[in-house]
C-alpha cells in the first residue's frame, strides 16, 4: 500500500460505455496526476491538478474527463473510448513545490487501473 | 526538466552489484536526481533521491560526481525480485510535472 489507492484495479468496457476511475490519497499532498502507460511505452502525463485546480492538460482527447473535487480525490471519467485507449492508468500525488535537500520523496504512485476497451 | 539518457536494458545475475548510469548533461543548478523502480502492471516506486556526492538508503546508493552531469544508481547484491524498469529523472523542486523516459529494463538471472 503506497498511500495512493486506485479503483478498480481492472476494468473491461465497451466502446459505448461510460465508466470512471477513482484515485484517493491520504498523504496530505496538494498535487495529483493522471498518467497513461501503454504496452512497451513510457508513461505519458495526461492531467495535473494543483490545489484542486487543473494546471496541465497534455492534449488529451475529450473522451477523457478528469475531476478533482478536493485535494485527496481524483477521478477520470471515460466515455466512448477506443481500443487503443487500452492501457494502465496511473494516479500519482506529490507535495509541491519542494526543494533539494529537504528529503522529499518525489511522486507517490498508485497501483494503477488496467483498462481494456473492447 | 533536464533530458536524461540511460541504457535501454541490462542483465545481471543474482548476488551481483548492479550499477545503472544516467546521463543528464543539461542539468540545472536547481535540479536534483530521482530514481524510480517499476514492476509490471504497477506504478513506479521511489527508490532514492540526491543532489550531489553520495546518498545511501536501505535499498540503493546514488553516486553523483561533482559536475552532476551523470549519476549512477547502485543496487547491491541483486535478487530475482529486482527485475524491473528503473527510471532516472532530473528535475527541480518546482517542476509542475515529471516526464518519464523509457527507463532501463534490468533483468536479474538466476
| Nearest-angstrom CA–CA distance, B70 and A29 | 30
Burial A11-34 (b: 16+ CB within 10 A, else e): bebeeeeebebbbbbeeebbbbbb
Using the beta-carbon criterion (under 8 Å), do A4 and B101 form an inter-chain contact?
A: no
Which residues of chain A neighbour B30 with C-beta distances below 8 Å?
99-100
| Nearest-angstrom CA–CA distance, B23 and B102 | 14
Q: Is B82:B106 a contact under the CB 8 Å cutoff?
A: yes
Q: How many CB atoms lie within 10 A of CB A75?
A: 17
pLDDT on residue A99: 57
Between residues A86 and B94, the one the model is more confident about: A86
Note which residues in 57-86 of chain B have CB less than 8 A from chain A. none
Which residues of chain A neighbour B2 with C-beta distances below 8 Å?
none
Question: Is the per-residue pLDDT at B94 higher than 70?
Answer: no
Q: Which residues lie below 8 Å from residue A38, measured CB to CB, with a gap of 6+?
A: A44, A86, A87, A88
CA nearest neighbour of A25 among A44, A56, A52, A54 = A52
Beta bridge partners of B12: B108
Question: Is the per-residue pLDDT at B1 higher than 70?
Answer: no
Using the beta-carbon criterion (under 8 Å), do A102 and B96 form an inter-chain contact?
A: no
| Nearest-angstrom CA–CA distance, A2 and A111 | 8
For residue A97, is the peptide bond before it cis, meaning its omega torsion is within 30 degrees of 0?
A: yes
Query: For the segment B7-61, what is each residue's pLDDT rounded down to a tens digit?
Result: 999 999 999 999 999 999 888 888 889 999 999 889 999 899 998 889 999 999 9
* Distance (Å) of CA B37 to CA A11, A23, A79, A101, A106: 24, 21, 32, 21, 13
pLDDT on residue A50: 83
Burial A86-102 (b: 16+ CB within 10 A, else e): bbbbbbbbbbbebebee
Which residues of chain A neighbour B99 with C-beta distances below 8 Å?
45
pLDDT on residue B17: 97
Between residues B90 and A116, the one the model is more confident about: A116
pLDDT on residue B100: 81
pLDDT on residue A102: 52
Query: For the segment B55-81, what is each residue's pLDDT rounded down to a tens digit?
Result: 999 999 999 999 999 999 999 999 999
Which residues of chain A, if any, have pLDDT below 70?
1, 97-105
Cell numbers describing residue B88: 532516472
Beta bridge partners of B10: B106
Would residue B100 be called left, alpha or beta, if left means φ above 0 and alpha means ψ between -120 and 50 degrees?
beta
pLDDT on residue A69: 93
Residue A96 touches partner B, C-beta closer than 8 Å:
yes
Amino acid at each position: 500500500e503506497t498511500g495512493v489507492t486506485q479503483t478498480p484495479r481492472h476494468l473491461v468496457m465497451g466502446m459505448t460505455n461510460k465508466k470512471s476511475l477513482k484515485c484517493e490519497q491520504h498523504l496530505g499532498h496538494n498535487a495529483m496526476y493522471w498518467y497513461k502507460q501503454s504496452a512497451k511505452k513510457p508513461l505519458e502525463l495526461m492531467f495535473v491538478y494543483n490545489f484542486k485546480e487543473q494546471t496541465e492538460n497534455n492534449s488529451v482527447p475529450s473522451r477523457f474527463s478528469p475531476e478533482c473535487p478536493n485535494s485527496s480525490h481524483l477521478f477520470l471519467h471515460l466515455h466512448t473510448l477506443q481500443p487503443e485507449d487500452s492501457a494502465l492508468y496511473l494516479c500519482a500525488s506529490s507535495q509541491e513545490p519542494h526543494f533539494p535537500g529537504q528529503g522529499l520523496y518525489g511522486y507517490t504512485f498508485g497501483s494503477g487501473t488496467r483498462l481494456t476497451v473492447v | 526538466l533536464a533530458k536524461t539518457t540511460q541504457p535501454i536494458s541490462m542483465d545481471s545475475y543474482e548476488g551481483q552489484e548492479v550499477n545503472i548510469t544516467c546521463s543528464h548533461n543539461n542539468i540545472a543548478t536547481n535540479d536534483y536526481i530521482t530514481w524510480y523502480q517499476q514492476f509490471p502492471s504497477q506504478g513506479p516506486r521511489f527508490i532514492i533521491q540526491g543532489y550531489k556526492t553520495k546518498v545511501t538508503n536501505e535499498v540503493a546508493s546514488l553516486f553523483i560526481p561533482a559536475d552532476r552531469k551523470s549519476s549512477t544508481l547502485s543496487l547491491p547484491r541483486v535478487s530475482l525480485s529486482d527485475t524491473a524498469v528503473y527510471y532516472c529523472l532530473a528535475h527541480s523542486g518546482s517542476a509542475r510535472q515529471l516526464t518519464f523516459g523509457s527507463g532501463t529494463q534490468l533483468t536479474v538471472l538466476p
